[in-house]
Structures are given as structure tokens and as C-alpha cells.
Amino acid sequence: MSINFPLFLVLATLVTGLIWLFDNLVLRPRRRAAAALLESQAGAASEAIEQAQQAVLKEPVVVEYAISFFPVLFAVLILRSFLIEPFQIPTGSMIPTLLVGDFIVVNKYAYGVRLPVIGTKIIDVDKPANGDVMVFVPPHEDEYFIKRVIGIPGDTIRYEDKIVFINGVEQPQTFVARMPPDRPDYEVYAETIGGVEHLIHRSPFPGNGPQEWVVPDGMYFMMGDNRDRSSDSRYWGMVAEEDIVGKAFAVWFHWDSGMPLFSRRGWIE
């Protein structure tokens, strides 16, 4: 079973913060009062009294760890919940745009500021647009997915002969290459969705018949760039607005085995 890291982070921050607050308001004044009492009863300073005072003033181990971890956890919580979040590409559904093992950065506030764990939007910033690469939680799994936004609310999407039509308008595709050339396993095309040009992979074999979807309000239609090897909205449905995580905007390094490769650093189109 996977760990709900956002929930764990919130709980860890809350627990360490409460321990720090309780120590600051209750336990620390008690320790200082006990140390002052020792000094007043002794009447004169001595090494033994100083050692006893240090022992009384010493923070309990739990408090010491809480005070050490709370600022770090709080900073990570703010950064990860409201600003940016790292994400590793686990599958090949976005090849060739993103490779398995790519570490990307997700803009958490691009589509609005949301509360951690529950995902409620508290500040509206912008809406996903056709062609964006978006991280989200799909309707059938409690895991992060990453795909390209093909349809926004109100769009009619048709997929025919491996070509996307948005509201009846064909989205251009230009042939690039067959790989390998003699017995191709896939074909590379340059596609433009919503003004965003990117490469896609298509199988050289014929696809299914025409399919069409109408995107309801508050929903988004997602597809992978590795078109014939992607589990996406064609199979499990559309993504609700409240399940959006953020906009993927950069690859910062690649690591699947061996040494990390920083040569793949760059912006995501």
C-alpha cells in the first residue's frame, strides 16, 4: 500500500509544532522555575548546582527532536503544498516528451492555490489550457498521473485515424521519422495542440474507429504523448478540477540507474 505523503507531512508538521508550542508555553517555564528554585535553595553557586540546573533545563528527547524537525517540516509543507513539487516519471506514457526516470518540477500554484491533502482551492489563479502537461490524480487510482491536456470544459474531442480534432478542428501532425526505419516499432510526429508543438509516438499499425467525447464543466480530457501506449481519458474517463495537482514545467535531471544525467534539463513543451 502506498503512503499518502501529503497527509503524513501535514500530520508530522502538526505533531512537532504542537510539541514545540506545548514546550514553549508549559514545559520550559516549569524547567526554568525548577532551576531558579534550586539556585535559591542552595544559597551559593557551585559546580554541583550548575550541573543540577543544566539537567533540569535540558529538553526531553521528544521535545528536542520536535524543535529540530518542525521548522524543516513546515518549510517543506509550504514549498510542496503551495509552490513547487518534484515528481519522477514512472511510466513511458509521455514518451518522447518525458522519459521514464525523468525528475520534473510541478508548479503547484499555476492553476490555483489549494489546501494540502483535501485539495480545496482557496485562491483562483488560472485554468489548464489545451496542450499543457499536467499532473493530477485520476478517477480510478489514488496515484499521481501526468498527461497532456487535450480537452477543456466545453470542448468536443474526436480521435480519428490517430489524429486529434478539437471542436471539429484538426490538430496538425507532421511526420518526422519511423523507428527503426526498416521495421518500425513506432512513428514520430510533430503535433500541435492549442498552439503547443511537441513530439508524439504513434504505432505504425491501424487504430480503432473514430471516438468522440464532450468535456463537461469542471472536467479535463487527458492523453499521453505515447499515444498507443498510454492509459488515459480514452479508457478511464476525465479528470475533475479538484484532482489537479499542478502544471509540469521543467525537467531537472534524469536518473533510472547509475549516475544522474543532467543533460536532459530543460523546459517541458
As to burial, measured by CB atoms within 10 angstroms (0-12 exposed, 13-18 middle, 19+ buried), residue 209 is: exposed
| CA angle 49–50–56, rounded 5-degree value | 90
CA 170 from chain centre, in angstroms, equals 31
Catalytic-residue membership of 93: yes
Please tell me which residue in 81, 108, 147, 230 is annotated as part of the active site. Answer: 147
Please tell me which residue in 46, 58, 68, 93 is annotated as part of the active site. Answer: 93
| φ and ψ of 220, to 5 deg | -140, 140
Catalytic-residue membership of 147: yes
**CB 143 within 8 Å of CB 126:** no
Kindly list the distances between the CA atom of residue 197 and the CA atoms of 98, 225, 269, in Å, as whole numbers in the listed order: 14, 11, 7
**CB 10 within 8 Å of CB 77:** yes
**CB 144 within 8 Å of CB 123:** no
Task: Give the residue numbers marked as catalytic.
Answer: 93, 147
